[in-house]
Amino acid sequence: MAIRIKDVAEKAGVSTATVSRVLNNDPKIAEKTKKKVLKAIHETGYRMNNVARSLKTSRTRTIGFLAPELVNDFFMTIAQGVEDELKDSGYSLIVCNSNESSHEEEKRIELLAEMCVDGVIIIPSSSRGEHYNRLKNMNIPAVLVDRLVDDFESDAVLVDNLQGAYKAMEYLINKDNSEFGFIGGDLSLSNFRERYEGFCLALEYNNIPKNPDYIKLGDCHIESGYKMMEELMNQPHPPAHIFIANYFMHVGATKYLTSHGYASKAGNQTAPVHIASFDDMTLSPILGFSDLTVSQPMKVMGREAARLLLERISGENEIEENRIVRLETNLVTH
């Protein structure tokens, strides 16, 4: 039905091998033949069948990107970074959704393996990583982004979460060292744990007592942020400053405050709470109650992940050890 290499060969009066060579930019081909073939390709409207090529070469020139959610600017900005880096490499990205479930994640990985992707970039959906080993068995290189997992070792791109949280806390403490609350995600996830450690360290260093009632752990979603903020504000004496370890929880917390009639900082300084949070997103500037965020270099994270992966795939310099790239965060004031 579709035009095959054979049709082009016949039209150009050459062999299929020659057409294939033209298609693959083989240098040792006569300029004249090349022209002839190119003309035939154009006239027939021939398009490569990548499935056939992949079967032969056992390379698909595709990379899988597995994120816990699609509707998530943080993950998708990282994906965009990956794409940017891949753009000129001839590789294309297959974006998949693990739906925040280890089980779904496992199924997706199987699928990507069956599709014979050349490599995979994963934003882990939990701290469980044992099922990633299927990739190792199949010799498919993987790079983790944002967090590490148990029972699986590979290249990874992370940010300095501890340092980021610490710096933000330092900023808050310098303004006013009263009580500090913390809203965060599951501490079994490496990134959240590190941010919590940064929070604690800053308090310790400044001799500020840590009040357990002020520590609220949820699940890094808007709804959870809302709930955690509610619990915090419903205390007899809520903390004046709150560090939120994740953008979406920050959004949820803001929703709570807004919908309960709290006045934001707009214009006055009588706001009931003062928030600093991890992640600087497009909407961060319009989140009231907050003028400080810890910005992660999302695109760079994606680019780095792609770079590490392409190096593994090309396999030029047999890399033995697992490489962990730690990127710096930036404080952003609004």
Partner DNA sequence: CTGTTAGCGCTTTCAA
Partner DNA sequence: TTGAAAGCGCTAACAG
Q: Which residues bind a copy of itself (CB under 8 A)?
A: 1-2, 45, 47-52, 54-55, 60, 62, 70-73, 76-77, 79-80, 83, 92-97, 110-111, 113-116, 137-139, 222, 251, 254-255, 258-259, 261, 263-264, 266-267, 282-283, 285-287
How many positions of this chain bind DNA (CB under 7 A)? 30
Closest approach, Cβ 41 to a copy of itself, in A, equals: 13
The span from the CA of 64 to the CA of 92, in Å, is: 9
79 touches, from DNA, a copy of itself, none (C-beta below 5 to 8 Å by class): a copy of itself
- 6 contacts DNA (rule: CB under 7 A): yes
Contact 253, 271 (CB under 8 A): no
Q: Give the containing element (helix H, strand E) for 209.
A: none
The span from the CA of 305 to the CA of 326, in Å, is: 11
Which residue in the set 11, 21, 167, 227 belongs to the binding site for DNA (CB under 7 A)?
21
- 39 contacts DNA (rule: CB under 7 A): no
Looking at the Cβ atoms of 96 and 172, the one nearer to a copy of itself is 96
246, amino acid identity: N
**Secondary structure class of 275 (helix, strand, coil):** strand
Closest approach, Cβ 201 to a copy of itself, in A, equals: 31
Looking at the Cβ atoms of 61 and 323, the one nearer to a copy of itself is 61
Sheet containing strand 330-333, strands side by side: 215-217, 180-184, 241-244, 274-278, 290-295, 330-333
Looking at the Cβ atoms of 28 and 237, the one nearer to DNA is 28
CA proximity to 51, closest of 138, 114, 127: 114
Exposure on the CB side of residue 136, measured as CA atoms within 13 A: 11
